[in-house]
Every structure is written in structure tokens, then in C-alpha cells.
Amino acid sequence: MPELSKMKKPDVKVVLLGDMNVGKTSLLHRYTERKFKDTISTVGGAFFLKQWGPYNISIWDTAGREQFHGLGSMYCRGAAAVILTYDVTNWQSLAELEERFLSLTDTANHDCIYAIVGNKADLTDPNAQLSQDSDGVSQDQTECEEERTEPQVLSACPTPPASPASLSGMVLHKQVTHEDAVALYGRILRYKGLEEKSSLPAEKVCFETSAKTGYNVDTLFETLFDLVLPSILRKRNENQESPTVDLEECRGASSKRAKSTCC
Amino acid sequence: MERDNHQEGEAQGVKICDSPSESNPPADTLATSLSLLGNHMFPDPVERNDGTTVVKEEPADLHLSDVTAQEQSLDAEHVSNQVKKLETEAAENSECQNNESTETTERGTEDAAIDNDQSDSGEFVVTMLAKAKLEEQGIGVKGRSSPLLEAGTQESPAFMSHRDEDVTADSWRQHRKHVFVLSEAGKPIYSRYGSEEALSSTMGVMMALVSFVQSSDNIIRSVYSEEHTVVFLQKGPLVLVCVSSSRQSEQQLRGELLYVYYQIISMLTQASISRIFEHKKNYDLRRLLAGSEKILDGLLNLVDSDPSFLLAAIHCLPLASSLRDSLSQILQKAITPNLVFSILIAKNQLLTIVQEKTVIEDTRLEPADVHLLLNLIGASSAFQAGEIWTPICLPLFNPDCYFYAYISYLDPPECTVCLLLLSTDKEAFYAVAECKRKIEEAMVAQNSLSLIAKAQSYSVSQVGVSDLRHFMYKPFDVPDNYRQLTQFTSPEMEAPYSSEGEKMRLLDLYRYMHSRIHSTSRPLKLIYHVAERETLLAWVTSKFELYTCFSPLVTKACAITAITKLLRWIKKEEDRLFIRYPPKYSTTPNPSKSSRGGKSDQQDSTDNGFLSLL
């Protein structure tokens, strides 16, 4: 048993970022525990190790609260993928990604993959209300289109309460469309100085999910894991030489001396 | 001199404004409504402290103690006012919250400055209080009927956020203890019940009260009424207010507010709070605290139900000293640079704590800091499989800088045994996580988890003293020559104190005994108190503080004998009941000193004498 735990060195790091109450913890919980439950506001960041086939993927679930903003760049250091999460019923949560969270990703790997995830899709989209765990990415585009034809129910409150009304079938006004997310992705690439052509296309990395019903959640994580696979392999090859320090430190592990360099 | 403010209910309705200038009109209204109400609500004019109490200062006749406000002008219009004592700093009046307002005299009148506005200010105060009161008192019902008031009712819960309680409902007023936190600009930061938005005008009134008293160079400390005690605490740019019907002493309530303040500091640090407000006086601190309400809620629930807070001491889980030692050794061996505290917790009680020795040579962790940590852990346990890494400030250790806390459960999925490692290095997560692996391995090797699982609190019957139902024993400095974490020991609460209500009743009795013992005006060493359904004896010496609860018919002599036996038993069990020699380790050739020491000198941090050592 101890042997086992020792073996679990993370191969790659994935970070969940986004404003508070968008459902980062719930997404991760849905993926790892297969259920949806009430969560409380995350304190700092929580580290999870996910076994994915032969690989160990570390996932940082960070607090969205402004209070913990200072730690963000530490969580992102050396990240191979960053999941920027917003709430489809809350425009501000998308805006915050750009204003507050994007700069935190400066410490991520240069080839880091950025995914833009609109959670709480069950609130706006009848399709997402069905508990289905694996839908193709393509499907969410169709949803998006449907969404526009939907009757719009105006909601007075910008941030819907944590326990949504999806069970009752009520549909909330969708404030953020898929196109908005795609546009944000374009701006992120520009911010990072990346060519759109050479980067992943937006449709591969923009998702709409529901942690509550499980809609698209597995798709999200598994697509991402597939996408970071090359960096896992490269990392394994490079062995100790990698410039991304943290994980290496951890790998170098048992000798305490090595660690002092990590700051 | 006395007016009745009693209409708290009404008061609600009245719109009060925050600035004195505007106070007039409302005051009039109030006065009117007061007079309407006054008579029937309080038949006896004097001395019942009814709710409100405002206090102004008055010379001797009322009991009130000190205070700045003047009352004269008011009398005219109203009927009976009763109560009032605003105590300002000067006056500590201890025990009499209720009726005994003894010392009045010396506080002379300090009204001097205020003459001409007297009337205004007087009314202003009244209004304020009345307003403030509203929240506290359930009463007020009558007031509501008065047409005058209606206009003012501002709290329409149009948009309820996290707590949906209707703040206009009686049930809201009847909560035993309300706690409000606001900024000096009067912005709501936290309310224990109801949403801050709905309470913003109420909080504005509280702030107005504070500033009104302040304007005459005084500090408002408390307001007493028959059923409620309102306690104010100002800390830097924050104002904390407690409205309680719990009959606790002002000191105790203030101590609880201080815990709330510390919990906020533990999340943001004192330095950053002052910086923020220096920058922008009307900053909405909820931005930074959003999401932390549950931590504060949890703290207040603990404060109400856990005597650790009252005693300012840690309750550790009784454990064979050999087991405790072996756990300590495991922690001692799993270290990394900049690690400063390793803490093991089971069932929310401390198992052991190991601290770095160079940095923290002469200091110890304050119980309050440990309480805040335990509360944080309780509140962050929602997602227990992960390893948490979060900044946390230990306000009594150093209110201005962060530690980084690693929190992980060692026994998922049960999640009763929790490891907490504190480092001064923000980036040390992976190194610290590695310490946890080592600790985990060692614990598996020694089968520690199953041993810990068997540990439990004890029953009072083990003491073997008949008639003894419960006790709390807090030694000072165990063992004698060792500066150590302040601890106390206490058996489980068993029948007749097994229901929640009865537990609370016993705790209330203890709180009462505690307030008598620690009364500032008339501290006592030994109290024998015959209550309705039990007899209590509290005793403080230079070596310990002890609270005992006996069956009702025990005589004083019996109780004393019983206590002698109890003390003997505790002495015998001491190694099991307390963490005796907290072990230390050394993780730092030199590094963390700088991080801590450097920051500390710039701060005023009053009570951390040790900082100068670093």
C-alpha cells in the first residue's frame, strides 16, 4: 500500500479556474465521484490525483473567491491544461475569466491547453437535463443553436442559487452563448501570442456541461486528457530534465534537499 | 429621563438615518410612537431595563453608567424610559446587567460639549437605539401597528441571497444571538441570520450609533435592555455587534465577537484589511469574504456549543500517552524545510501537535488560533478526498502574514482523522504532501489509525464520584514549568444533559459561573450555586480553573470532598487527558525566520511579544 502511494507521481497538471459558484468543485466531483452533491465554497485549492489509464493526472480545484487570488499563479505553475470555467447563466462569470483569471495562467506551460467550459447547462438547456455522461462535442453546438429559439425566461438574479431549478424543468435565461465562449478563446490565444491556425480549434476546447446531470462532464475531462497526452509522453521522456519544476520536484521526492529549490 | 424605547418594533419602521443631522425628524416620529406605546408596554417606569436602553449619561439617578449622551432633552417628550446604560469604556459595570446598575455616580456628566444639540443628539441616540433594538427584540409588535412607522420599513427581501430568512419576521428577531459585522462606512459585511442586503439600513444605524458616541470622544461598548444585551466591538476598520438574549456577560460576548474578528483576519490578515480600507473607505469587504459565510456561521455555532471558546483552551482527545508519543514521533520525522506546525486531529479534537523549534522557540500556539484552524477544517471538509492547500493567518501568532496550510484526511472515506501541516512557504505544497505520505506510511506500519479509532472521550462515572454529573477542568500550565498549549478536560455530557436543549442549559449555567468568576468588578474565587435542577461549584486557584456540576441535593461539604477526589483522579490520569510535553522538531537551518520575522516588525501587533525575538 505504501508502495502504491509512492508510485503515484503526477505526470501532468490540470487546473480548474473560474469565478466562485460556477461549479468547479462540482464538475470535478461529478467526474471523480460520479455524483452531484452540495459543495461548500472551496478554501484555497484542493489537489486530486486521478488515475487515467497508466497515467496519473493531478487536478487542482481552485477557489474562485477573490480572497485566494494570490495563490492562483502558484496553482497554475507548470500546468499542461487549464479549464476556464464559467456559468452559462451569468455573463459576469465569463467576463471574470478574462479580467481576473487569464493573467494567472502566465505561469502555465507554454504549450498549455486552454478549455473554456460553460457549466450549469441544465439550467438553460433541456438536453442537458438528461443525465447522460457522454455526449459528443458536436452535440453541444446543436444545443447552442436550439438555445436561441428557446423562449427566454428572464431571471432577475444574475447568479442563480446554487440549487438550480432544473428538476422542475424551468429554463433560465442563458446569458452566455457558445459563440461568446469561442470569441473568448480567440482572445486568449491572442493574449498568449498564439496563432489560431496552429492552436487547437475552438470547437475542440469549448464545452457546455452540467455537473448536476453529468452532461458532457466526462467528455470534457477525457477530451482534455487526450489532448495533454503528448505532453505526458514528452515529459516521461524528458525525465528529470523538464523545466517545469514543481512536478519534477515532487518526483524527485524523497530527498528533502531537492525541494528547497522549488521556490 | 427615561424614555421608552421600547418600541423596537417600531423603530424598525422608522427610518433612521445615519447622520445626526437627519436624525431629527425620525426622532420626532419615534417620540410620538413611543409615547403611544410607552405606557402599556412598560408600566413600571423605572428600572426595568427594557429593551432599549440607551444610554446616556446621566448623572446619577438612573443606573446607567456612563455615557455620553445626554438625556435631558428627551425626557420631555416621553414617557418612561428605562434603561439605559450605555457603557462606555470607562465604566465597566460588571455584573449587573440587569438591574443592578450600581455604580453610577462617578461618571459624572460629561455632557459638556454637547449642549446645544442636546436635544437633537439625545433624540438621535434614542432613535438609534430603538432602531438597533429592533433587531434584537422580538417585541415591538405593537410598534408595527403604528402608522408612523410603516413608511420606513425598508427591508423588503426582494433579493435574498444565501440566507433567505425574512428579517422582518418575528422568528428572525427571536434568534438567541445575532452577530453583525460592518465596516466603518456602515457597509454590511456579515450577518449571522438574514441577508446583509436586507439589513443594510439596520447596520447603518449601528454604525451611526457608534459614530455618534465617538463624536464625543467616547466609545460605545454595550446597550442593555431587559431581554437583550447589545455589545459593540471596534477593531480597526471593522465594527462587530452582537445582539444577544443569552444572558451572557458583556465580556463573554465581546470575547465571542473577537473570535469572529479573528476568523476574518485568519482569512484576510489584518494588514490587508487595513490596507484595503485605507485605500477605499467604502469598500465592500463581502467581495473578499464571499463564500466564507459558512466558516463564520460554523464558528458561531461552535462558540455556542463548545466550551473551549469560553475557557479559551483546547480540548484534546484522551489517549494513552504511549500512543500519543508514538504519533508525535511520526510527525516529528516527517518534515521538510519551512514546516512549522504538524497537527493531528481526530473527531475534531486534538491528538497531538508538534512545532518547529527554532522559529517558535518561546511561543506557543494560542488556543484561539487552534480553534480557528479546527473550525476551518470543519468547514472545508466537503470534498474530503482531496488535499487542500490554502493560505491561513493565525491572528494571535501574527495577524499580518499567512501560513500555508495543508489539510488532508488520513482515513477516507470516513474522514475523522485529519492531518494539518503548516508551512511558511507558499510553494511548498508538493514537499508538504510528501510529508503526509511518510506520515501515512508510518501510521499504517504502526496500525495507528485503528488505535486512534478506539480513542474516545470518557464518562464522568469513571471518576467514581457519586453526585458529580459533569465538570470542566482547566489547569494553568501543565506541566508546571512548561509553557504549553492551554488545555482543559471534560467528560462527555451524559444524562440528564444528553439532549441538545439540556446541553445548552448546562453550558449556560457554566457561562453564568464563568462570568461571576471573571467579573471585572467583583471577581470571585469560589462559587457554590444552587440552581433549579443542579448544584454547581466553580473554583479558581493559581493552578487551575474548575467548574463542576452536581446533582441538586449535594451539600457544600459533600461538593468539596467530591472535588478533592476529582482533583486526585485528574492528577492520576493527567498523562492521558492532556498533551503533556509537546514535541518539537527543527526544519530550518535558517530560512523561515526571515519570512516571518521580516514581516512582523512592521506591525504593531500588540500581543505578540515573541515577534521581537525573531
Smallest Cβ distance to A48: which of B292, B385, B427?
A: B385
Of B337, B434, B444, the CB nearest to A1: B444
User: Amino acid identity of B59?
Assistant: P
- Which pLDDT score, from 0 to 100, does residue B579 have? 87
Domain B460-577 has CATH 3.30.450: yes
What distance in Å separates the CA atoms of residue B564 and residue B529, rounded to the nearest whole number? 18
pLDDT > 90 in chain B, percent: 51
Output B335 or B152, whichever has higher pLDDT: B335
- Cβ contact, residue pair A40, B290, below 8 Å: no
**Beta strand ranges found along B426-534 (DSSP E):** 468-475, 487-488, 526-530
Query: Given A67, A157, A260, which is nearest B337 (Cβ)?
Result: A260
Sole residue written with cell 473577537: B258
Cβ–Cβ contact A149 with B under 8 A? no
Mean pLDDT within B229-238: 94
Q: Is the pLDDT of residue A163 over 80?
A: no
Confidence of residue B17 (pLDDT cuts 50, 70, 90): very low
Instruction: Show contacts of A25-28: CB within 8 Å, 24+ apart.
Output: A25/A61, A25/B382, A25/B383, A26/A119, A26/A211, A26/A212, A27/A83, A27/A85, A27/A117, A27/A119, A27/A209, A27/A211, A27/A217, A27/A220, A28/A59, A28/A61
CATH architecture of B163-289: 2-Layer Sandwich (3.30)
Task: Please check whether residue B276 touches A, CB under 8 A.
Answer: no
Question: Would you call A259 and B337 a contact, using CB atoms and an 8 Å cutoff?
Answer: yes
Grid cell 516529528 in the structure block, residue: B332
Query: How much is the pLDDT for B167?
Result: 86
Residues B219 and B191: beta-carbon distance below 8 Å: no
- Band (B477; pLDDT cuts 50, 70, 90): low
B388 touches chain A (CB under 8 A): yes
Contacts of B336 in chain A (CB under 8 A): 256, 259
Chain B residues with CB-CB distance to A70 below 8 A: 391
Cell of B63: 443606573
Q: Length of chain B, please? A: 614
| Three cell numbers written together for A173 | 435565461
Contact indicator for B259, B298 with CB cutoff of 8 Å: no
State how far the Cα of B548 lies from the Cα of B342, in Å rounded to an integer: 33
Question: How many Å lie between the alpha carbon of B404 and the closest alpha carbon of chain A?
Answer: 9
Write down the domain spans for chain A: 12-136+173-260
Closest chain B residue to A28, measured at CA = B383
Task: Considering only the beta carbons, identify the residue of B291, B388, B441 that sits closest to A46.
Answer: B388
pLDDT digits (tens, 9 = 90+) for B106-150: 333 333 333 333 334 444 444 444 444 443 333 333 333 333 333
Q: How many Cα neighbours within 13 Å face the side chain of B573?
A: 21
Q: From CA B484, how far away is CA B477, in angstroms rounded?
A: 6
Average pLDDT over residues B55-80: 36
Which of the listed ranges B77-81, B193-197, B504-508 does the model predict with the highest average pLDDT?
B504-508
Rounded Cα distance, B349 and B457, in Å: 10
Residue B373, phi then psi, degrees to nearest 5: -65, -45
Q: Which residue has the cell 486531529?
A: B345
Mark A48-70 as b/e (b = at least 16 C-beta within 10 Å). Answer: bbbebeebbbbbbbbbbbbbbbe
Report if pTM > 0.90.
no
Residue B428, min C-alpha distance to chain A (Å) = 7
- A62-71, B156-165, B525-534, B583-592: least confidently modelled range: B156-165
B359: pLDDT confidence band, cut at 50, 70 and 90? Answer: low
Q: Does B391 touch chain A (CB under 8 A)?
A: yes
CATH superfamily of B314-455: Dynein light chain 2a, cytoplasmic (3.30.450.30)
3-state secondary structure of A150: coil
Whether the CB-CB separation of A86 and A64 falls below 8 Å is answered with no
Q: Which residues pair with B346 in a beta bridge?
A: B349, B417
Helices (H), chain A: 2-7, 24-33, 72-76, 91-96, 137-149, 178-191, 202-205, 217-238, 245-252, 256-259
- How many pairs of residues across A and B have Cβ atoms under 8 Å apart? 123
Instruction: Work out the pLDDT band at B358, boundaries 50, 70, 90.
Output: confident
| 8 Å CB contact of A259 and B441 | no
Contact B356, B423 (CB under 8 A): no
Task: Give me the half-sphere count of Cα atoms (radius 13 Å) on the Cβ side of residue B123.
Answer: 27
Instruction: Report pLDDT digits (tens) over B18-45.
Output: 333 333 334 333 333 333 323 333 333 3
**Grid coordinates 442537458 are at which residue?**
A128
- pLDDT of the residue at B155: 36
What contacts B360, CB < 8 A, 6 or more positions away? B340, B610
Architecture, CATH, for domain A12-136+173-260 = 3-Layer(aba) Sandwich (3.40)
Could you write out the three-class secondary structure of B285-349?
Answer: CHHHHCCCHHHHHHHHHHHHHCHHHHHCCEEECCCCHHHHHHHHHHHHHCCCCCEEEEEEEECCE
Q: A71–B426: do the CB atoms touch at under 8 Å? A: yes
The model's pLDDT over A11-56, given as tens digits with 9 standing for 90+, comes to 889 999 999 999 999 999 899 888 888 788 888 899 998 888 889 9
Q: Are residues B570 and B545 in contact, defined by beta-carbon separation less than 8 angstroms?
A: no
| Model pLDDT, residue A74 | 85
CA dist list (Å): B611 to B34, B243, B362: 54, 35, 10
Do B223 and B52 form a contact (C-beta atoms < 8 A)?
A: yes
A44 with B388: Cβ contact below 8 A: yes
Nearest to B380 among A43, A47, A68 (CB): A43
Q: How far apart are CA A174 and CA B249, in angstroms?
A: 52
Taking a C-beta distance cutoff of 8 angstroms, is the pair B219, B234 a contact? yes
Q: At residue B90, does pLDDT exceed 70?
A: no
* Mutation for testing the A interface, residue in B286, B427, B440, B594 having most A CBs under 10 Å: B427
Residue given cell 446543436 in the structure block: A142
The candidate with the shortest Cα–Cα distance to B96, out of B224, B242, B254, is B224
Cell numbers at A33, concatenated: 465521484
Given strand B468-475, what is the order of strands in its sheet? B468-475, B544-550, B535-540, B526-530
For the stretch B540-550, pLDDT in tens is 998 899 999 99
Domain ranges for chain B? 163-289, 314-455, 460-577
